[in-house]
Structure formats: C-alpha cells, structure tokens
Amino acid sequence: MFKKSLEFFRKDKTLWLAVLLFAIAVFLRFYHFSEFVTFLGDQGRDAIVLKRILTFEHFPAIGAPTSVGQVYLGPFYYYFIAPWLLLFNFNPIGPAVGVAILSSIFILVNYIVVKKLFDRIVGLISSTLLTFSFVLIEFSRFSWNPNLLPLFSLLTAYATIFAVKRQKKLFYILAGSFFSFTIQLHYLALFLAPPIVVIFAWELWEHKKEWKQSLKNIFASIMSFVFFSSPLLIFDLRHDFLNSKNFMKLFQTSSSAQASNKFAELLQTFFFLNQHVFQTQLNIILLGLLLFMLFVLFFLHVKKNRNLAYIALFFLLSLIGLSFYSGPKYPHYFGAVYPFYFILVGYLLANLFKSRLSIPIFFVFMALYIFFNGENYYYFSHKGSDQIGRAQKIAVAVQNSITKKKFSVTALPNQYSDATYRYFLELWGVRPLEKDTLEPSQELFVICEGVCKPIGNPQWDIAYFEPKKVEETKKIFDPLIMYRLSN
C-alpha cells in the first residue's frame, strides 16, 4: 500500500506541493480555532435545528431564511452538516470543524479538478491563491450555509464540464445534484444556471446526430436536480410561490434602480470581488481592462481551449447575474464565483510563470497577494472572544435562576439573538418556550448588553409577557446582565 502511494507521488511530483498547501490551509483554518469560532444567532438557530434532527424530533423541509428578502433555502445544509454535531457529542463546535475540514479539502479538490481541466501549474497556482485567501479562510472558521459555496460551485462546474466531455449519464446526474446542493447553500448560486444551460445547449448543437441520447442525459440531470430540490419546490407550491416571488422582488428593485447603467454596475461588482479577493482596493480603470481581457479570453478560446471557455463562461455569466442585484455586495455573495476567478487568475499567472522574463513579476504578485491577505489574519495577534463559552455561561446563569416550569428568554438590544443560549438550555433539558409561541410564560429572562430597563420595553417578547416586577438581577460577565421578570 505504501509503495503504491509512493509511486503515485512519483508520477505527479507537484502533488507533494498540493499536499503541503493542504497542510498550510489546515493550519490557517484551525489556528486558535475554538477561541475564535463564530457562534452567534445564525449558528445558535442552526444548532437547535441540527439537535432536533439528530434526536428524531423534527425533520425540516426547508432551510434557513436569507438575511435579505426572507427567501428560504433548502434543507441540504442541515442534513449534510448534522453528523458533525453528533460526532462532537452535541458541542456546537462540531459543525464548524466540519466546515473547516471540508474547506481545507477544497484545496486538494481544486488542485485535482484544475489539473484535469488545464495542467499541474494552473492547479498549483490557483490552489495557492485559495490557501492564503483571507475571505475563504474566514468563511472556513465557522458554520454557516454559504461557507461551503466555493466547494460545491466548483463541483457543479466540474460535473457539468465532464458531462459534456465524457457523455456519461453519471456526470449529468452529478451536475444536477451538485447544482441543487449549491443553490440550497445560497440563492445567488442560481446564477450558475445560465452557464449550465449554455453548455448543455452547446453540447446539443454539437451532437445533433445523437440528440436523443443528449436529451436523455440532460433530462437525467434535470430529474436529479428536481429530486434533491423537491422539499423546497413542494414548499413553494404549497405557499403560492412565496420563495420565487420574494427572490424576484430583489431583482425587480435592483433592475429599476440600476437600469440606466448596467455596465457601471458590472464594473462595480467586479471591483468588490477584487477587493474581497486581494484585500486591497485596485484601480477601477485597470479592473475594467482586466474584465475586458477576461471577455476576450473567453471568445478567443471558445474553440481552441474549451475548458478555459467553460470556466470563463461560469465566471462571467455569474458575475453579470450578481451585478443585477444592487444591494450591498457582501463577501459571501461571491461564494459561487470565487473558485472560477481563482482558476482564471491562476491560468493567467501560469502563463507568466512559463515565461522566464515574467517569472519575477509572478513572484512579486504572489508575495503581494499573500502580504495583503496575511495582514488580516487577526487570530495571530488578537485574543478570541470564546463565543461558545460565553453562550454556555449565559445558559448556566439562566438555568440556576429558573423557578417556574414555563419560562421564556430574550435579548436586549433586539439585534442580539438569544438562540445561542437557548440551544444549551434545550440540550440540558430545560427548554424555554418557543420564540414565536403565543403560549403564556410564567417568567421571562432578559439578557441585556449593560444596564437596561426591561419593564415597559416595546420589544415584542417583553411587551407580550407584560412584566410587572424584576425578581432578580444578576451580572453574568461584563457587560451582560440577566433580569428575571414576573407578571
């Protein structure tokens, strides 16, 4: 077995470098992990859902709502990441570890995929960019559905490209499946649909003589997509296409606001992408030239290098789709775009590397890239907030003060979620009343950021409870204060 592995590495000498990059990626993603792991409202909410799945209490048919537009995602992420919570004995760090491991494996997956599509050099360079990318490292260090977008968007593209190259039904089925998983991580991944449609239509045109078989393969891809998306599709049908309508509203607003200058919006979207990737602001004129070069690259290589054309198509059409959304361009909105951009940048850099005169430029670029991204590795110089530990301390304080069977918990100010300590209370068998219940509570615990006056506060949880008296005040840790209220 060892000899076979050694022979495998001898055949592909750059694989050693890919494994080294993987090791660096693991280090950067796990350094002081538990101290810095994010455990806020979204993670607390997800932990409750995962715990109820694992205890066979509830099997959700939909996932989390998006922060903008209240568009519900599919349940894929919940079921996919739930085993990690069980593996860590219901410690909420488990799903975060799962995301970090999968995000590290993404480096190797990228190397293997890009090597097959192009060559080893492009694979190594693009994997190096991924390894040191601050935005991807940041998304690797906590559990959140968009954080796995880069991995699954790359797998979607890989399956799509190899479906048309190999003409095997399995790849078509995988393409549909991965696309379903990807849009269930974030709806903006729907912009992968246009390049998939174009590539499949292209394939139909080129194989006109075997059009029946091609249609059968494409149908298999569609059916695999429908199968894995069925819970969400059924939800939409049962609720008068609520999801579809909310999603379209986002772009109807964007369209009316930005119809006058779509190119400027596209350039601005590209500007934000580069800001997230390079962790610095680049000249907008140079970015315009680079974007133009990428379009030229696509049209010049449509026939000469089909794989490059496909990757450029995935990147350009996804970027154009994102430009139609005129809201803030948060880093995770580009989750489905990152892998394609890193591959294209890797391809351009590989051509520099192959020219002796350009090798110094290549190394200067890589050094600057690592420097600008490395400046943001805050976990090397700062102390973490231990958010899981904080949530546990709050839960312990509440648990020790419970005097009634039916109790509620809430947080002030309202933007601070109570889901994190709700999770631990439920895990320990002292479940508070559900957040949206109308069932009357016998006492209410308010966790305040500093001194506050909960009685008379208009926040819904407090107003509905109608508190009359503060029964107990307890300082948990600075600046958190717990108030136990009665009515």
Q: Are 344 and 311 in contact (CB under 8 A)?
A: yes
Q: What is the pLDDT of residue 58?
A: 93
Tens of each residue's pLDDT in the chain, 487 residues: 555 555 655 666 788 899 999 999 999 999 999 999 999 999 999 999 999 999 999 999 888 887 766 788 899 999 999 999 999 999 999 999 999 999 999 999 999 999 999 999 999 999 999 999 999 999 999 999 999 999 999 999 999 999 999 889 999 999 999 999 999 999 889 999 999 999 999 888 887 777 788 899 999 999 999 999 998 888 888 877 777 777 777 666 544 444 447 788 888 999 999 999 999 888 888 888 888 888 887 777 667 788 999 999 999 999 999 998 877 889 999 999 999 999 999 998 888 777 777 788 889 999 999 999 999 999 999 999 999 999 999 999 999 999 999 999 999 986 668 999 999 999 999 999 998 888 999 999 999 988 889 999 999 999 999 999 999 999 998 889 999 999 8
Please indicate, yes or no, if residue 467 is contained in any of the structural domains: yes
Q: For residue 399, what are the domain limits?
A: 387-486
Q: What is the pLDDT of residue 257?
A: 47
Do residues 206 and 71 both lie within one domain?
yes
Do residues 452 and 326 both lie within one domain?
no
Please indicate, yes or no, if residue 136 is contained in any of the structural domains: yes
Token readout for 251 is 């772009």
Q: What is the pLDDT of residue 61?
A: 87
Length of the chain: 487
Please indicate, yes or no, if residue 4 is contained in any of the structural domains: no
Report pLDDT digits (tens) over 74-130.
999 999 999 999 999 999 999 999 999 999 999 999 999 999 999 999 999 999 999
Do residues 274 and 353 both lie within one domain?
yes
Report pLDDT digits (tens) over 313-351.
999 999 999 998 877 889 999 999 999 999 999 998 888
Which residues fall within 8 angstroms of residue 360, CB to CB, at 6 or more apart?
A: none
Q: What is the pLDDT of residue 3?
A: 59
Q: How many whole angstroms separate alpha carbon 202 and alpha carbon 185?
A: 27
Q: Answer with the one of 351, 379, 407 that is the final residue of a domain.
A: 379
Q: What is residue 13's three-state secondary structure?
A: coil
Do residues 309 and 439 both lie within one domain?
no
Do residues 335 and 468 both lie within one domain?
no
Q: What angle do CA 28, 31, 35 make, to 5 degrees?
A: 135
Q: What is the pLDDT of residue 281?
A: 86
Q: Answer with the one of 379, 413, 441 that is the final residue of a domain.
A: 379
Please indicate, yes or no, if residue 82 is contained in any of the structural domains: yes
Q: Answer with the one of 348, 363, 379 that is the final residue of a domain.
A: 379
* Beta pairing partners, 486: 443, 469
Do residues 315 and 173 both lie within one domain?
yes
Do residues 374 and 412 both lie within one domain?
no
Q: What is the pLDDT of residue 253?
A: 52
Which residues fall within 8 angstroms of residue 183, CB to CB, at 6 or more apart?
A: 74, 189, 190, 192, 229
